[in-house]
A = this chain, B = another copy of it.
Amino acid sequence: MGDRPSIRDVATAAKVSIKTVSRVVNGLDTVAPELRDRVQTAIVELNYVPNTMARSLKTGAGNAVGVVVDSIDDVFFSALVSAVEQRAISLGLGVVVCSSGFDPERERNQLLRLASQHVRGIILAPVGEQLEFLEPYRTSMPVVTVDRSLPGFDSVTVDDYAAARSGVERLVASGHRRIGLIGFDRRIQTARRRRAAYEDVLVEHGLAVDAELVPDVPLGSGAARAALRTVLALPEPPSALFLSNARHASAVISETHSLGRTDLAVVSFGDFSLADAVDPTISCIDQDPYSMGALAFDRLTQLFQNPVLDRVDLQVPTGFVQRSSHLIRIAELAAQPRRRAGKVSIS
């Protein structure tokens, strides 16, 4: 009753053999037209759908790919997952999404669960560093990392260092000497790279590197707003902000508005909606999550066909969305009472 019809039921209904039904649904062999018709009418009549698990069990290959990201509820990753799903559906593959929640232990469990599901491959935004346990599965379940890379795995990333440099350099070019970095999380590789770029730019321009301007902001927590407030409450607060992660950008911008501090120069790593509508409009480094997801999936399909391909690091180019926030000059701070603003405004 509640049980689904099996290939056997279809066979008896169509008065053919089980094998013939199999041939029809797979469309591989030549089957006599009249038998094919009988089978197909029986299929629609019984509402038969082939049991993927049995098929996968027999053939050894699953019919889904896994995606493990920090959080599904994240503009960057939801766009990436969406791109993966678009691609996957055209190959008839399902997409199993899992969130790691920045927890290496949870990430490990999710990956093992995907392995037990026999997914064809995995797209992973890695959190943990110890993923050797995936080795035994590498050939039957290739892994491509996104956003972050991991030794020994194919990856799709952006050039964090170069992009972050260009963002910070624009702030320096607008005359800022104290630049806050909001969004640093030592656990995250990209956060470390972006911080390194930030510091390198500062020292290259003879500016002081002050750890107080780089508060810890654990990803996935709501700490960005508080981090902004503590940075602004410093004896020597920054006149500019580099938002190193788009996930915090909305919260930080919202907080600057509620504090009335729209005089801060800002560059965000990652575009976000309404960045062009707030005042001032926020200049952003643009990384395209759709391209990254699509590229990662394509690489995965290549690995399906040949699991022993050499490891490849694919980099997606970034852009810079010119808006107004990075052009705010330090001179405009003169109106601010809390801070002497006699610094020279460099052109």
Contact = CB atoms under 8 A, between A and B. Distances in A.
Interface stretch (A34-42, A114-122, A149-157): A114-122
B82 A94 contact: no
A52 B254 contact: no
A98 B95 contact: yes
B274 A273 contact: yes
Given A53-B117, A54-B57, A99 B72 contact: no
Interface string A75-100: 10011011001100100101111110
B117 A64 contact: yes
B97 A81 contact: yes
Interface-central residue, A117, A135, A279, by most chain B CB under 10 Å: A117
Interface stretch (A1-9, A123-131, A161-169, A191-199): A1-9
A234 interface: no
A71 interface: yes
A239 to B, nearest CB: 20
A133 B97 CA distance: 26
B82 A116 contact: no
A3 B138 CA distance: 10
A257 B276 contact: yes
A52 B117 contact: yes
Interface stretch (A43-51, A175-183, A309-317, A325-333): A43-51
B73 A79 contact: yes
A62 interface: yes
A254 B274 contact: yes
A277 interface: yes
A52 B116 contact: yes
A296 to B, nearest CB: 15
A278 interface: yes
A118 B85 CA distance: 19
A295 to B, nearest CB: 17
A5 B97 CA distance: 25
Given A52-B117, A253-B274, A272-B273, 17 more contacts: A2-B138, A2-B139, A47-B135, A47-B136, A47-B137, A53-B62, A71-B82, A72-B82, A74-B78, A82-B99, A89-B106, A95-B98, A250-B274, A250-B277, A254-B274, A273-B273, A274-B277
Interface of A: 1-5, 46-47, 49-54, 56-57, 62-64, 71-75, 78-79, 81-82, 85-86, 89, 92, 94-99, 106, 110, 112-118, 133, 135-140, 250-251, 253-254, 256-258, 272-274, 276-279, 307
10 contacts: A4-B115, A4-B136, A51-B57, A51-B116, A73-B82, A86-B99, A89-B110, A94-B114, A95-B96, A277-B278
